[in-house]
Amino acid sequence: MPDPLSALRDLVAEGGVAVLSGAGLSTESGIPDYRGPTGAARTYAPMTYQTFTRDAAARRRYWARSHVGWQVIGRAAPNAGHQAVAALQRAGLVDAVLTQNVDGLHQAAGARDVVELHGNIDRVVCLGCGQTTPRGDLDQRLRAANPTFAALAAAVNPDGDADLDDAAVAVFRPVDCARCRSGVLKPDVVFFGESVPPERVDRCFAAVGAARLLLVLGSSLTVMSGRRFVLRAAKLGIPVAIVNQGPTRGDAYATIKVDAPLGTALQALAHSLRSSVP
Ligand SMILES: [Zn+2]
């Protein structure tokens, strides 16, 4: 039986690769994958768009946790897996990078034209006036509004939440939009219960349809927002390769499955293609 990584190398060497990445690609950067085999169990139910917009107490809790979590996510650095994807793109083998991650680490590694399916945690949008601002600006405003807020995160999940006790949450003061003064601020990410903007989905379908290989990296494909691209590739007869630790809900469609740590596997892949990779 051929080594799956060698088989993957042969397919990637032909170029025309569309990458679809998930939380498992960022775990080696210190951002836990709560769905993966080594991920810490999620303590809280994920925030839904409906709860966030209707419930001021839930928003306070969200921003208190997120304020702590940002100190980790804001400092996270790309790992060997992100570096390998960027190198394969520079070599002309990867045409499209689609990600379910909101951490911006593909771009930090040098990848270009990344489609962020679920947005990016480094931006904030006002639900009142629509203005988008950098998360760093909000971080400064939150620090100023909460000068004694020194709670530490016990754990951080990929959405940037952190565990905090209720007493710390109770004294946290969120802030509203600095421009319209009353608008509710929301991270510019797609919450549960919220749809990915259709033009973004179309862009991803177009990239998958134009690909010679769909390469899934570190996603268990649990949610349809990512799995639908695997289904589309399979329908079009485009081979699907999956590099992930543990089973995924796309395994039945995979031509090649590599079950290995992402950084090691992708570094080996880029290395084996080094004649093509600058
Ligand atoms: Zn506003």
**CA-to-CA separations, 179 to 62, 164, 184, in angstroms, rounded:** 22, 29, 11
| Mean pLDDT value across residues 166-173 | 82
Specify the higher pLDDT residue, 1 or 235.
235
Answer whether 115's CB lies under 8 Å from 96's CB. Answer: yes
C-alpha 241 – ligand 1 centre gap (Å): 43
Q: Rounded CA gap, 72 and 246, in Å?
A: 26
What's residue 276's pLDDT? 59
- Sequence-ordered list of residues with C-beta below 8 angstroms from that of 61, at least 6 positions apart, any chain: 164, 169
Answer whether 91's CB lies under 8 Å from 278's CB. Answer: yes
| Mean pLDDT value across residues 174-202 | 94
List the end-to-end C-alpha distance of the chain, in Å, as a whole number.
Answer: 31
What's residue 89's pLDDT? 97
**pLDDT one-digit tens code per residue, 91-148:** 999 999 999 999 999 999 999 999 999 999 999 999 999 999 999 999 999 989 988 7
% of the chain exceeding 90 in pLDDT: 71
Active site residue 118: yes
From the list 67, 106, 118, 271, the catalytic residue is 118
| Mean pLDDT value across residues 183-209 | 94
What's residue 155's pLDDT? 45
% of the chain exceeding 70 in pLDDT: 88
Return the DSSP state at 45.
P
What's residue 34's pLDDT? 56
Answer whether 208's CB lies under 8 Å from 18's CB. Answer: yes
Kindly list the strands in the beta sheet with 119-126, ordered across the sheet, starting from the edge strand earlier in the chain.
Answer: 132-134, 119-126, 185-189
Q: Within 10 Å of residue 13's Cβ, how many Cβ atoms? A: 15
With residue 5 as reference, give the H or E element that holds it: helix 4-13
β-bridge pairing 17-21 and 94-99: parallel
Whole-prediction pTM: 0.88
| Mean pLDDT value across residues 48-66 | 92
C-alpha 116 – ligand 1 centre gap (Å): 23
Specify the higher pLDDT residue, 116 or 170.
116
What's residue 170's pLDDT? 83
Specify the higher pLDDT residue, 35 or 202.
202
C-alpha 126 – ligand 1 centre gap (Å): 5
pLDDT at 35 over 70: no
225 pLDDT tier (thresholds 50, 70, 90): confident
Distance of alpha carbon 204 from its chain centroid, rounded? Answer: 15
Using alpha carbons, select from 247, 244, 270 the residue that is nearest to residue 17. Answer: 270
Answer whether 200's CB lies under 8 Å from 117's CB. Answer: yes
